[in-house]
Amino acid sequence: MANIQSIKQRFGIIGSSHLLDRALGTAIRVSSTDLTVLVTGESGVGKENISKIIHSLSARKHNHFIAINCGAIPAGTINSELFGHEKGAFTGATNDRKGYFETANTGTIFLDEISEMPLDTQAFLLRVLESGEFIKVGSSKVNQTDVRVIAATNVDLEQRVRKGKFREDLFYRLSTVPINIPALKDRREDIYLLFRKFSNDIAERYRSEPVRLEEQAKLLFENYRWPGNIRELKNIAEQVAILSEKRLLSAEDLITIAPNMGKRNLPVVADLNGDTPEGFQEREILYKFLFEMKHDLNDLKNLVFELVRKNDLDMPDTSALRGLQAPSFPTPFTDPVNPSIYDNLSESQRNTTVKPIIIEEHGKDYDKTEVVEESLNLEVMEKELIRKALKKHNNRRKEAADDLGISERTLYRKIKEYELQ
């Protein structure tokens, strides 16, 4: 059995990630069998390369290998493409035609984007996988084929099964041996190696000096999310090689050529329940409300520190205040931001009686207060924030919706839902 390093050299695979090695090891072990394989991974990670490796190491390597993109074939013709048709089966069928499963008999078929296959075609494929039988479009004759199937997808098939868009029995039949190809962001140690490979290939093609990156530019490469994976990395390598006059690029040079490289990729709320854009906007209302609460808390902190300062209070125990962010101010005994001052006080100063906070009963600055427990219910918070926005803009819904960051239609629906007048 071939080892992983020799396979990398043979197929030009660059990388030392243990996740990549695990995927290659599984492909090597399964290649000697006829088991169906499901290759998963994001778009651009090289799933087709895995199918070629499996075919090249199998007993079928001297027979046909056909790669088919299921998403590129119209739903009305995919059955004919895969299984063939008889003359006169439909308008335009002037001759008999062999399908891919008949043509690739004793060989391998790679079905990319298997999630895009129509449900009726999935039923025909399931029969092929279970018994090797298929029927041409417009025929009643059962044909036999011996084809090894390798499927690939960049989406979660189990989620599509739950939504009724993919057959559960076909999913389990396809995933006899699952192989997951890691995304580029999960194998960051390979990113610069791949860039060097592409840069050298481009330099050799155009007889020029290969592009290299300074340390900050390397960090920029390694910390970028790479949503397009290897395909995107190759495109960036070609761009910098052609568009830049320099051969040693800084981070600034890189961002000038590829501005997306400088963007921060912060986490966002995932659309786990198939929410609409309006649903996402509604969540933004809650985030704004939470940010307002944070500002209120900071104001409360500043108020406490101001009371301490104005009343000339002693605060011997400052451990609870060390993590708070507030304006620093000196007092005779302690500084909450710099508690070390307290360590330098004399014993008499440390034992001084703590002065109370005095607020006049009829003071102009503060009214009598009552401590109430705040509701943390999200609907209540959302309702209150909408009420505040409407009051702020004198019930002008368009301006209130703009302030909340949602559409006027969504605001109208929320007003009816919460019975706000």
What six digits make up the tokens of 323? 């993590």
Helix axes 378-392, 397-404, angle to 10 degrees: 130
pLDDT score at 222 = 87
Does residue 241 lie within any of the structural domains?
yes
Does residue 364 lie within any of the structural domains?
no
The residues pairing with 71 across neighbouring beta strands, listed in sequence order, are none
pLDDT score at 337 = 43
Helices (H), 224-276: 229-243, 251-257
Amino acid, res. 29: R
pLDDT score at 321 = 47
Q: Tell the burial category of 364 from Cβ atoms under 10 Å away from its Cβ (0-12, 13-18, 19+).
A: exposed
Give CA separation, 69 vs 117, 134, 165, 227, 374, in Å: 9, 20, 18, 21, 56
Instruction: Please say whether the beta carbons of 38 and 151 come within 8 A.
Output: yes
Of the CA atoms within 13 Å of residue 1, those in its CB half-sphere come to 13
Residues 221 and 274 in one domain: no
Residues 287 and 409 in one domain: yes
Place of tokens 């910098």: 240
pTM: 0.61
pLDDT score at 169 = 94
Give CA–CA dist 112/155, Å, rounded.
Answer: 11
Among candidate residues 351, 306, 349, the one with its CA nearest the CA of residue 327: 306
Does residue 365 lie within any of the structural domains?
no
Choose one of 132, 165, 182: the last residue of a domain.
Answer: 182
Residues 401 and 258 in one domain: no
pLDDT score at 166 = 95
Residues 142 and 10 in one domain: yes
149's CB contacts (< 8 A; 6+ apart) are 36, 37, 108, 109, 111, 125, 128, 129, 174
Residues 297 and 317 in one domain: no
Give CA–CA dist 260/104, Å, rounded.
Answer: 43
Does residue 361 lie within any of the structural domains?
no
Does residue 288 lie within any of the structural domains?
yes
Does residue 366 lie within any of the structural domains?
no
Residues 159 and 18 in one domain: yes
Instruction: Please say whether the beta carbons of 63 and 106 come within 8 A.
Output: yes
What's the CATH code of the domain at 236? 1.10.8.60
pLDDT score at 353 = 45
Residues 99 and 128 in one domain: yes
User: Block means of pLDDT (10 residues each) for the chain, length 421 residues?
Assistant: 84 91 94 95 92 95 95 90 89 87 95 94 94 92 94 94 94 94 92 93 91 91 90 92 89 88 56 50 66 76 75 59 46 44 50 48 50 63 83 84 81 79 65
pLDDT score at 393 = 84
pLDDT score at 381 = 79
Does residue 360 lie within any of the structural domains?
no
Residues 87 and 20 in one domain: yes
Domain count, the chain: 4
What six digits make up the tokens of 369? 């207060």
Does residue 70 lie within any of the structural domains?
yes
pLDDT score at 123 = 94
Residues 297 and 347 in one domain: no
Instruction: Give the domain range for residue 340.
Output: 313-355
Choose one of 182, 207, 227: the last residue of a domain.
Answer: 182
pLDDT score at 170 = 95
Residues 320 and 299 in one domain: no
What six digits make up the tokens of 67? 């790669």
Residues 153 and 134 in one domain: yes
Residues 212 and 327 in one domain: no
Give CA–CA dist 391/393, Å, rounded.
Answer: 5
